[in-house]
Amino acid sequence: MPGNVSNAAPVTVLPQMLCTAFQQTREIALQANDYRNGESQRGLQVASSRRKWVLAVRLSASALATLRAFYLARRGGTEPFYYYDPFAVVPIGSNYDPTGANATGRVTVRFEGPWQQSMGMARTDVQIQLVEVN
């Protein structure tokens, strides 16, 4: 049928050395109507929250090069990939599979936002996040 969009089909996995560098957040989309008398109406726009992962650590030169190469190979946010959330299982990080076959803790994500980085003393800050794709 014309106009249909196919589901995301990831073909690669984020390198394991980068998986622990992200911190998970959740976002619930809602619609809010605020009135002049101070009252408001709020309603959910979605049935469940959307998970996001924000880069939470400063990266060494080798980790920065790995992340940058992976970002460019995915053409920014245009190609989905698998991310293994190391904190979704016990023991922590035991779910990583470089082939993407293990479904435990595996999430289909894409990069969100432009590449932004700033240099510091021996480390680099990168402003980038992963967003869950359903």
9-49 pLDDT, tens digit each: 898 999 999 998 999 998 888 888 999 999 999 888 877 78
Strand, coil or helix: what is 73?
A: helix
- 2 versus 123: the higher-pLDDT residue is 123
Question: Phi, psi at residue 68, to the nearest 5°?
Answer: -65, -45
Indicate the burial class of 13 (C-beta count within 10 angstroms; 0-12, 13-18, 19 or more): buried
Q: Which residue has the higher pLDDT, 7 or 116?
A: 116
pLDDT band for position 1 (cuts 50, 70, 90): low
* Cis upstream peptide for 10 (omega within 30°): no
Q: What is the pLDDT of residues 54-63, one digit of tens each?
A: 998 888 889 9
- pTM score of the predicted model: 0.79
CA 38 – CA 32 distance, rounded (Å): 12
User: What distance in Å separates the CA atoms of residue 90 and residue 123, rounded to the nearest whole number?
Assistant: 30
Q: Which of 72, 69, 56 is nearest to 129 (CA)?
A: 56
Neighbour count for residue 123 (Cβ, 10 Å): 13
pLDDT one-digit tens code per residue, 69-85: 999 999 988 999 999 99
Averaged pLDDT score across all residues of the chain: 88
